[in-house]
Amino acid sequence: MTVQETQENIIKEFEVFDDWLDKYDYLISLSNDLPVIDQKLKTSENLINGCQSKVWLTAELTDGKMVFTADSDAIITKGIISLLIRVLSNRDPEEVMNSDLFFIDRIGLRENLSPTRSNGLLAMIKKMKLYALAFYTMQNTK
Amino acid sequence: MESLSDIQIGQIRKDFPILSAKVYGKQIIYLDNGATTQKPRVVIDAISEYYSEKNSSIHRGVHFLSEKSTMAYEQARESVRNFIHARSSNEIIFTSGATGSINAVAFSFGEKFIKADDEIMISGMEHHANIVPWQMLCERKKAHLRIFPFESNGELDPEKYKKLFSEKTRLVAFTHVSNTLGTVNPVKEMIHLAHQYNVPVLVDGAQAIQHGHVDVQDMDCDFYVFSGHKIYGPTGIGVLYGKEKWLEELPPYQGGGDMVDKVTFEKTTYNILPFKFEAGTTNFVGAAGLKTALDYITSIGIDKIAAYEKELLVYATEKLSSVESLKIYGTAKNKISIISFLLDNVHQYDAGMVLDKMGIAVRTGTHCNQPVMDYYGISGTLRASMVFYNTRDEINRLYEGLLKVRKMFHKDH
């Protein structure tokens, strides 16, 4: 499934909710699906410190595919992280680098990416793409 | 003390256009008044009228509009003087806000009186605006910042305060009311003690001015600061009160128009008080808006407002305390209507997001008060800050909202 298709699937899943609280309920359940992060990875190096919530992110390249591991101290932020990982994990660095993340806007969570919200998500997406750029450069300079 | 009746509150609410707004299709419940207060129609109209009828730069030109504008500005100064019971309007300096006022004192006082190894004292409950300017000053002058701590209930310990004074103490700065804990500090006693050591005191009134009677002469503070937007006035206007003897002695903070007497390339002499501290084109529209806000508050009665807000605080404290596993931070005996709290195992950001979708506006995070969060070992709180246009019914809605939050976040954890 492409980045585009995965995002469209997520949008469809969210279409069934006409109430905000149901949407949040769904995000809470998604946060539980996110694999528990190894405490050892919760280092200051991996920490993206938002004013409102904290996000930890790390990435590795396995068989040419990027695998992201992430966590947050806030559940709703964590729910959104699980969606981001679903869209961007297990992909070529190039795909991640060039991805256009439109689903957040379409499922009505754009406010979560506002710089003033400062929950670490916007910085997390930037860091995901930076990882992708680094891996891509690494692959192409070998 | 006489309070305000529900009928009066109902009338008052109609004065604030934004209170009838809807968010996400729900009636807004605005409980973030500690961050900024909403504006009554009279203030909104005063600003609009100013631009339509009076707009002209002040203290310049002899023309009609300039005269009219200057008069409005100086009337605003007189209103502020009267509101905080200052001795003279020379002691009222208009600034951009409480932060601007503190920075002005930190600079001017620092230039004149602070040298290497001197000490400045602040409390452990200050918000960033009453920490950072002093830190910057200490860095500039190689002076030291000394902190007197607060107790876990949110009250300052008078003994620890007293002990911190030394021969090197040059200035004490503390807040009148804590923006996070709601504590009303015993400012008069604290100032009296500082004066026994011959140390002047700056009181940060940003969270106090809108909640009760302020008398700077009775308090005997040397400096008092507050922001217009926290007392139902416009943003971008604030006040620095300083005793005339200090303001006379301090050098100006910023240079430019209005603060000068005579300018040559060799030397500039400065204007008299209060203009010495008001460089550039001042925010005269903001000043007029602030005057209107103060007149509005005076017409209702600040003591009645305080009495009603006290009732609200008691009601809200009781109601929120009845939510299972809710913990309130800041339980001082003397508090204003601010409640910081956390629900056990629920992140404040999650709770705030869900409340938002119910139309309830509370503050989440550190409230520009990271040291207080560090003291309690938490990453932030939710904060409901109430004022006289809030109602018991709104607190009931917050209570119901919190029950819902608990249910949502506790079922899987």
CATH of domain A3-140: 3.90.1010.10
Q: How far is A12 from chain B (nearest CA, A)?
A: 21
Residue B283: HSE in the Cβ half-sphere, 13 Å Cα cutoff: 21
Please, what is the end-to-end C-alpha distance for chain A in angstroms?
A: 28
The residue in chain A having the minimum alpha-carbon distance to the alpha carbon of residue B406 is: A25
Q: Which of B280, B270, B229 is nearest to B108 (CA)?
A: B270
Residues B286 and B382 in one domain: no
If you average pLDDT over residues A15-28, what whole number do you get? Answer: 91
Of the candidates A28, A52, A54, the beta carbon closest to that of B409 is on: A28
B368 included as an active-site residue: yes
Per-residue model confidence (pLDDT) at position A117 = 66
Note whether A77 contacts B24, CB cutoff 8 Å. no
Residues of A near B (CB-CB distance < 8 A)?
20-21, 24-25, 28-29, 32, 51-54, 73-77, 119
Structure tokens at A7: 């995002």
Among residues B241, B275, B298, the one where a domain terminates is B298
Residues B237 and B256 in one domain: yes
Note whether B347 contacts A75, CB cutoff 8 Å. yes
Residues B132 and B155 in one domain: yes
Does some domain include residue B1?
A: no
- Model confidence at B413, in pLDDT bands (50, 70, 90)? very low
Q: Which of B260, B252, B210, B214 is nearest to B233 (CA)?
A: B210
Domain that holds residue B352: 6-40+301-406
Structure tokens at B372: 């207080």
Does some domain include residue B411?
A: no
User: Cα–Cα distances in Å, from B332 out to B151, B183, B211?
Assistant: 9, 6, 16
Residue B65 touches chain A, beta carbons under 8 Å:
no
User: How many distinct structural domains can be found in chain B?
Assistant: 2
Answer for the pair B174, B127: CB distance below 8 angstroms, yes or no: no
Of the candidates B24, B346, B365, the beta carbon closest to that of A51 is on: B365
How many CB atoms are located within 10 Å of the residue B388 CB? 28
Answer for the pair B133, B121: CB distance below 8 angstroms, yes or no: no
Give the tens place of pLDDT for each residue, A60-110. Answer: 999 999 999 999 999 998 999 999 999 999 999 999 999 999 998 899 887
Answer for the pair B86, B209: CB distance below 8 angstroms, yes or no: no
Best to test chain B binding among A18, A24, A29 (most B CBs inside 10 Å): A24
Per-residue model confidence (pLDDT) at position A118 = 65
CATH number at residue B376: 3.90.1150.10
Residues B294 and B318 in one domain: no
Does some domain include residue B255?
A: yes
- pTM equals 0.93
- Model confidence at B289, in pLDDT bands (50, 70, 90)? very high
Q: How far is A28 from chain B (nearest CA, A)?
A: 7
The residue in chain A having the minimum alpha-carbon distance to the alpha carbon of residue B381 is: A52
d(CA B185, CA B187): 5
How many CB atoms are located within 10 Å of the residue B197 CB? 12
Residues B204 and B167 in one domain: yes
Q: Please report, for chain A, the start and end positions of each structural domain, with discontinuous segments joined by +.
A: 3-140
Residues B293 and B314 in one domain: no
Per-residue model confidence (pLDDT) at position A18 = 84
If you average pLDDT over residues B208-228, what whole number do you get? Answer: 98
Note whether A28 contacts B357, CB cutoff 8 Å. no
Residues B190 and B90 in one domain: yes
Among residues B260, B282, B298, the one where a domain terminates is B298
Note whether A24 contacts B354, CB cutoff 8 Å. yes
Task: Say if residue B148's pLDDT is above 80.
Answer: yes
d(CA B411, CA B413): 6
Q: Which of residues 337-396 of B touch A (CB under 8 A)?
A: 346-350, 352-354, 357-358, 364-366, 379-380
Residues B99 and B204 in one domain: yes
Structure tokens at B162: 């007293």
| DSSP track, B294-336 | HHHHHHH-HHHHHHHHHHHHHHHHHHHHTSTTEEEE---SSB-
Contacts of B366 in chain A (CB under 8 A): 51
Per-residue model confidence (pLDDT) at position B142 = 98
Measure the CA dihedral A113/A74/A56/B131, to 10°: 80
Residues B140 and B182 in one domain: yes
Contacts of B374 in chain A (CB under 8 A): none
Note whether B353 contacts A73, CB cutoff 8 Å. no
Q: Which of B191, B185, B114, B109 is nearest to B151 (CA)?
A: B185
Element (H, E) at B20: none
Q: Which of B359, B329, B330 is nearest to B344 (CA)?
A: B329
CATH number at residue B272: 3.40.640.10
Does some domain include residue B412?
A: no
SS3 category, B224: strand
d(CA B295, CA A14): 50
Of the candidates B348, B350, B354, the beta carbon closest to that of A21 is on: B354
Give the tens place of pLDDT for each residue, B290-320. Answer: 999 999 999 999 999 999 999 999 999 999 9
Does some domain include residue B258?
A: yes
- Model confidence at B30, in pLDDT bands (50, 70, 90)? very high
Does some domain include residue B413?
A: no
A19-23, B163-167, B279-283: least confident range: A19-23
Q: What are A91-96's contacts with CB under 8 Å, separation 24+? A: A91/A3, A91/A65, A91/A66, A92/A64, A92/A65, A92/A66, A93/A61, A93/A66, A93/A131, A93/A132, A93/A133, A93/A135, A93/A136, A93/A139, A94/A132, A94/A136, A95/A2, A95/A3, A96/A66, A96/A128, A96/A129, A96/A131, A96/A132
SS3 category, B139: helix
Q: How far is A83 from chain B (nearest CA, A)?
A: 17
Q: How far is B404 from chain A (nearest CA, A)?
A: 10
Give the tens place of pLDDT for each residue, B377-398. Answer: 998 999 999 999 999 999 999 9
Backbone angles phi, psi at B360, to 5 degrees: -100, 120
Residues B252 and B388 in one domain: no
Answer for the pair B308, B391: CB distance below 8 angstroms, yes or no: no
- Model confidence at A115, in pLDDT bands (50, 70, 90)? low
Structure tokens at B32: 């973030």
Answer for the pair A117, A52: CB distance below 8 angstroms, yes or no: yes
Element (H, E) at A66: strand A65-72
Residues B92 and B26 in one domain: no
- Peptide bond before B274: cis, by omega within 30 degrees of 0? yes
Note whether B24 contacts A52, CB cutoff 8 Å. no
Does some domain include residue B376?
A: yes
Residues B274 and B364 in one domain: no
Does some domain include residue B364?
A: yes
